[in-house]
Amino acid sequence: MKLRTTLALLVIAVALGIFVWILDRKSPGTRERLARRAYVVDFDRNDVTRLEIENGDTKIKLAKTASGWNLTAPVADRADQKAVDNLLYAAQFLKRRDAITNLGKGEQKRNYFRQFGVLRPHLILRCLGKHTQIVLEFGSETALDGTCYLRVDGQEPVFVAEDNLKNLISENSDYFRDHQLTPFLPSEVNRILFNQAAGEIELSRQRDEWQILRPIKARANNAAINRLLQQIANTSILQFQDQEGSGDLDVENSATSLSLFSEQSKVKIAYGPAVPNQPGRIYVRVSDRPSTFIVDESLLRTVNQKPNDLRDRKIMRLNPDLIDRITIMSDGKPITQLSRRETRWVLLGNSSENQTATSEAPAEAEQVNRLINTLNDSDVSRFVSDSAIELDRYGLERPALEFAFSSYSTENTAEANAGETRLATLAIGDSENGNYYARVEEEPYIVALPKQLVQQLPTSSLAFRSREILSLPRSELLSVEIKSKDQTAKLTRTGKGQWVVQGLTGKQNDLAVQTFLNTVANLRAVAWVSADDSAPMADPPEQKLVLHLKNQNSAMEIALRIAAPDQDGNRYATISTQPGTFLLSAADFQRLEASLVY
């Protein structure tokens, strides 16, 4: 064989191999072919953009748009997206039980078609798209429950298929109409307008917080608004009323309506009279939708709101992450000032109650958070006035007590200059009938606060002072002198790190020693009772501990003096490292006075 012939045959073989490989890649595998053979038709439901249903003289048409499916006939309306999806799914995965072929020709075939109800079918579904042109013609029921006869595109064979799709397209056009009043999800609504006989109420969502804009400017109750929107979203259209006699409902000029806004889109719902002979139901009209709808009258209770029903009854709306400074003032003068230092809070030493303290002292973050949470979580007793006028009448012209919350920046930004920026100020005035008059100065109204709540708000620097008295590494503790009325003892750490009790008779109780040392090293106060040492302190004290410590840099001595108990059994105490008198818990005192020997 010549070389040229051999090369030609080789080229042909390679070409055939490539052709077979491409053909094999593009043709479905055996499993896929078997899977497809289980269904009546093979198409991609995502390609379908039009659906047509013929049911006798009734024609239903649906079209897919950028915003979803719409009903175009017999009325133009929004379609129920779930109903259309169910239809397409049922069509794509319509299972066949059998295929009847070899039906003969001419009159014989027509007789078979007539017998199966597919010669002139009354029920037809067309699925149309760029790559889809499928016509399903449904015939009569078979002798097997849950199945029917059908043809595809008017061709042979006649299939025996499940009748779930037939049942779906046998529904009337109302089944495919959107039964929800609004196309918006509650989270998509950013403005609400209530149009009522008494006037308008307007609300706006600003940075995920709802505000009332009309008839008053006030904070709105986020939970109440979100609950209202969810109830509207859950209101289902019970009946579509296309005929006359459903009341005169002019959506645009209705005296009672609700408008929902989402960005540039708007839906207006006008609610009308009760439906005759249908107790508990009312008529409504929705802008951009045909017909009058019938819904449950609970919608009226949902939308029948008054401004105070929608107001936020919480005292304040503070964002803890933005607060860097808190100033508490009495008669216009600061009595307590707190400042955030990264993750901790400190007391500033320029308040009238903190003159004896250093320029900064640790503050109890838990107490700061409790103050913010109390104001955020507690309700006002009532709304006194919707305008901040006649402040003298309520003692708010020169409030007796003020809580000022500020942010602080050390650098200039595009939004603000460096320095303190006031976020909100709560002013508290006179008391009357178990309440204090108050106002948030950045909001134009006056409220009443429960007297008990106001009196429990922490105001003095002592209330915020850190209750951590000692937090010592055990490795720095060398010895502890213990002096009481009855005995004197000393705990000393040896070079091997062991603790030895001196000055007491008996066998050393190691458990009591370790409990004593742990209590001393991690001492916390129950509360501070004074900024100086003026609280009742016996001299000499009932117990005095002198701690000797040494670290890498220096040695130091700390004296803890413990005096008489208060009415709850807690002990008055002072410590040489901090000014003021605090209460030591009765439990800690018991650990400190427990015998260190058997």
- Whether 58 has a pLDDT exceeding 50, the answer reads yes
Q: Which residue has the higher pLDDT, 538 or 62?
A: 62
Cα separation, 282 vs 293, in Å, equals: 8
- Whether 242 has a pLDDT exceeding 80, the answer reads no
State the pLDDT at residue 31.
41
Residue showing tokens 């008529």 = 283
Cα separation, 208 vs 201, in Å, equals: 19
Distance of CA 370 to the CA centre of its chain: 22
Lowest mean pLDDT of 196-200, 258-262, 570-574, name the range. Answer: 196-200
The mean pLDDT value for 521-525 works out to 93
Q: What confidence tier does 479 reach under pLDDT thresholds 50, 70, 90?
A: very high
Q: Is residue 232 part of a domain?
A: yes
On whether both 168 and 102 belong to a single domain, the answer is: yes
State the pLDDT at residue 552.
73
Q: Is residue 282 part of a domain?
A: yes
Cα separation, 61 vs 82, in Å, equals: 16
On whether both 129 and 193 belong to a single domain, the answer is: no
For 249, residues 6+ apart whose C-beta sits below 8 A from its C-beta are: 270, 272, 283, 284, 285, 292
Question: What pLDDT, in 10s, does the model give residues 174-201?
Answer: 999 999 999 899 999 999 999 988 889 9
Q: What confidence tier does 571 reach under pLDDT thresholds 50, 70, 90?
A: very high
For 149-193, the DSSP string reads EEEETTEEEEEEEESHHHHHHTS-GGGGB--BS-SS-GGG--EEE
The mean pLDDT value for 510-522 works out to 93
Q: What confidence tier does 356 reach under pLDDT thresholds 50, 70, 90?
A: very low
CA distances from 514 to 50, 494, 591, 594 (A): 83, 15, 10, 11
Q: Is residue 8 part of a domain?
A: no
Distance of CA 375 to the CA centre of its chain: 20
Helix, strand or coil for residue 12? Answer: helix
State the pLDDT at residue 539.
62
- Whether 215 has a pLDDT exceeding 60, the answer reads yes
CA distances from 458 to 288, 356, 401, 571 (A): 56, 20, 11, 22
Cα separation, 298 vs 285, in Å, equals: 16
On whether both 450 and 514 belong to a single domain, the answer is: no
Cα separation, 487 vs 500, in Å, equals: 17
Q: What confidence tier does 221 reach under pLDDT thresholds 50, 70, 90?
A: very high
Q: Is residue 356 part of a domain?
A: no
Lowest mean pLDDT of 334-338, 340-344, 359-363, 381-385, name the range. Answer: 359-363
Helix, strand or coil for residue 553? Answer: coil
State the pLDDT at residue 388.
83
Residue 486 maps to which CATH number?
A: 2.60.40
Enter the pTM of the model: 0.72
Q: What confidence tier does 243 reach under pLDDT thresholds 50, 70, 90?
A: low
The mean pLDDT value for 361-384 works out to 93
Q: What confidence tier does 249 reach under pLDDT thresholds 50, 70, 90?
A: low
The mean pLDDT value for 568-573 works out to 92
- Whether 244 has a pLDDT exceeding 60, the answer reads no
Residue 149 and residue 123 in contact, taking contact as beta carbons nearer than 8 Å? no
State the pLDDT at residue 34.
38
Last residue within a domain, chosen from 150, 173, 196: 173
State the pLDDT at residue 251.
66
The mean pLDDT value for 210-221 works out to 93
State the pLDDT at residue 70.
95
On whether both 248 and 288 belong to a single domain, the answer is: yes
Q: What confidence tier does 16 reach under pLDDT thresholds 50, 70, 90?
A: confident
On whether both 437 and 524 belong to a single domain, the answer is: no
Last residue within a domain, chosen from 242, 277, 310: 310
Q: Is residue 14 part of a domain?
A: no
On whether both 442 and 486 belong to a single domain, the answer is: no
For 222, the domain range is 186-310
Q: Is residue 157 part of a domain?
A: yes
State the pLDDT at residue 1.
54
Question: What pLDDT, in 10s, does the model give residues 125-171?
Answer: 999 999 999 999 999 999 999 999 999 988 889 999 999 999 999 99
On whether both 45 and 157 belong to a single domain, the answer is: yes
586-593 helix and 510-521 helix, angle to the nearest 10 degrees: 140
On whether both 300 and 329 belong to a single domain, the answer is: no
Last residue within a domain, chosen from 426, 454, 482: 454
Q: Which residue has the higher pLDDT, 221 or 27?
A: 221
Residue 33 and residue 24 in contact, taking contact as beta carbons nearer than 8 Å? no
State the pLDDT at residue 239.
92
- Length of the chain equals 598
Ramachandran area for residue 434 (φ above 0: left; ψ -120 to 50: alpha; else beta): left
Question: What pLDDT, in 10s, does the model give residues 306-321?
Answer: 898 899 999 999 999 9
The number of folded domains in the chain is 4
Q: Is residue 103 part of a domain?
A: yes
State the pLDDT at residue 254.
73
On whether both 164 and 44 belong to a single domain, the answer is: yes
Ramachandran area for residue 573 (φ above 0: left; ψ -120 to 50: alpha; else beta): beta
Question: What pLDDT, in 10s, does the model give residues 61-108?
Answer: 999 999 899 999 999 999 999 999 999 999 999 999 999 998 888 899
Residue 546 and residue 559 in contact, taking contact as beta carbons nearer than 8 Å? yes
On whether both 145 and 215 belong to a single domain, the answer is: no
What is the percentage of the chain residues whose pLDDT exceeds 70?
A: 88
State the pLDDT at residue 245.
45
Residue 278 and residue 267 in contact, taking contact as beta carbons nearer than 8 Å? no
For 52, residues 6+ apart whose C-beta sits below 8 A from its C-beta are: 59, 60, 61, 62, 124, 125, 126, 128
For 322-386, the DSSP string reads G--EEEEEETTEEEEEEEEETTEEEEETTSGGGTTS-SEEEB-HHHHHHHHHHHHHPBPSEEEES
On whether both 116 and 57 belong to a single domain, the answer is: yes
State the pLDDT at residue 32.
43
Q: Is residue 359 part of a domain?
A: no
Catalogue the long-range contacts made by 104-113 (C-beta closer than 8 Å, 24 or more residues apart): 109/156, 112/158, 113/151, 113/158
- Whether 429 has a pLDDT exceeding 90, the answer reads yes
On whether both 165 and 201 belong to a single domain, the answer is: no
What does pLDDT average to over the chain?
Answer: 87
Tell me, what amino acid is at 316?
Answer: M
- Whether 264 has a pLDDT exceeding 90, the answer reads no
Question: What pLDDT, in 10s, does the model give residues 403-416?
Answer: 999 998 766 555 55
Cα separation, 381 vs 456, in Å, equals: 16
Helix, strand or coil for residue 419? Answer: strand
Burial class, 525, CB count within 10 angstroms (exposed 0-12 / middle 13-18 / buried 19+): buried
- Whether 23 has a pLDDT exceeding 80, the answer reads no
DSSP strand pairing (435-440 vs 499-502): unpaired
Cα separation, 347 vs 328, in Å, equals: 12
State the pLDDT at residue 33.
42
Burial class, 258, CB count within 10 angstroms (exposed 0-12 / middle 13-18 / buried 19+): buried
